[in-house]
Amino acid sequence: MASVVAQRQFVSNRLIIRAREREMAFSSWSHLRLRLPHLARTQSLTVRAFSAAVMSPPSKAVVYDRQGPPDSVTRVVELPPVEVKENDVCIKMLASPINPSDINRIEGVYPVRPQVPAVGGYEGVGEVFSVGSAVKGLSPGDWVIPSPPSSGTWQTYVVKDQSVWHKINKESPMEYAATITVNPLTALRMLEDFITLNPGDGIVQNGATSIVGQCIIQLAQYRGIHSINIIRDRAGSDEVKEKLKNLGADEVFTESQLEVKNVKGLLTNLPEPALGFNCVGGNAATLVLKFLRQGGTMVTYGGMSKKPITVSTSSFIFKDLSLRGFWLQKWMSSDKTNECRPMIDYLLDRAREGKLKYEMELVPFNDFHTALDKALGKLGSQPKQVLTF
């Protein structure tokens, strides 16, 4: 009898345990069923976040792994897509020039240069291809330039933070938008930063055929300022003089024409210049100094002859001349971004009006090494080379 009771108790306990197991299982399933929509939403959000990652297209770029002769160390390669983060903008490059400073960076002789391996190029214009989720004020199709300039413009697609890009008027001529920041901005800053020039004043410069020189002539004329221009002796100098006068130059002299005791006697109805610009050095710099009036200032922004500037003691004592220097990159690194961009817009306005122009040659990106040879002077004197993508 006792065994029967014990057996019944055992069966009863098993039934109770199974009931509790079913209850717990049902409770767990109910809880899981309630959680399923949340889990599904979480999984969906995770999938959407992963799928929302924006990537740039693959890019073709001019790269160099070491510094040296540009025609030896540069090569065109394919770069893989990169992620466009929330504050990034992906730009499809339209055009970018080959500047002397670009060549110097690759050679390793420019004071500021990117770490290698690097993509060449420093300025240019592009079209917004895509934007990150947090980007404001830029949309696909907008035209932008890096402002201040930024390394790596010799490639078909560039991805950088939105703060790098300055939106410009799409009616701007593409080749001028690509080249507006380095040379024209240098000309503008030098005209404005050292002395106050008023309409009717004069300036003098050597290297007048350079793009900076041509911009100085045109910006000065636009403001009613006279320009005296010095060019080197060469074949075809008469044609060069005519070209510069068509841009607005008041006087153009070859260096040999200025081998006279009193160069100011060559000026007829022009005022003695208060400001001079030197990008050559050597004797060409001395000629600029000879034209300056009492208390005048000469600004040096280049040294193409690689010869030193020699100044007589009397020029300092009796004429009280001042010698200054200008380097655009240093100026722009002084937190000048907000100040710089309206100046670029001003210069692009002049280009659209036809009041700022200079000669350029547009070259397809696939012909990069031909353009590089021209920029290096291998094929004689050539216009500025501008790569188009």
- Beta partners for residue 387, in sequence order: 96, 363
110 is catalytic: yes
First to last CA, the chain: 101
Sheet containing 322-325: give its strands across: 251-254, 226-231, 202-206, 275-278, 297-300, 322-325
Instruction: Using the structure block, give the residue that is written with the tokens 């610009």.
Output: 277
**CA 197 – CA 201 distance, rounded (Å):** 6
Q: Quote the DSSP letter at residue 292.
A: P
CA distance 206 to 283: 10
H or E stretch covering 158:
strand 157-161
Identified catalytic residue from 110, 122, 222, 346:
110
Partner residues linked to 252 by β-bridges: 229
**In this structure, how many other beta carbons lie within 10 angstroms of the beta carbon of residue 237?**
18
User: What secondary structure letter does DSSP report for 388?
Assistant: E
Helix and strand numbers (H, E) in the chain are 12, 18
CA distances to 274, 289, 292 from 297, rounded to whole Å, are 6, 8, 7
Backbone angles phi, psi at 57, to 5 degrees: -65, 165
| Distance (Å, whole) CA 86 – CA 65 | 30
Q: Which of 365, 360, 357, 370 is nearest to 388 (CA)?
A: 365
Looking at the annotation, which residues are catalytic? Answer: 110
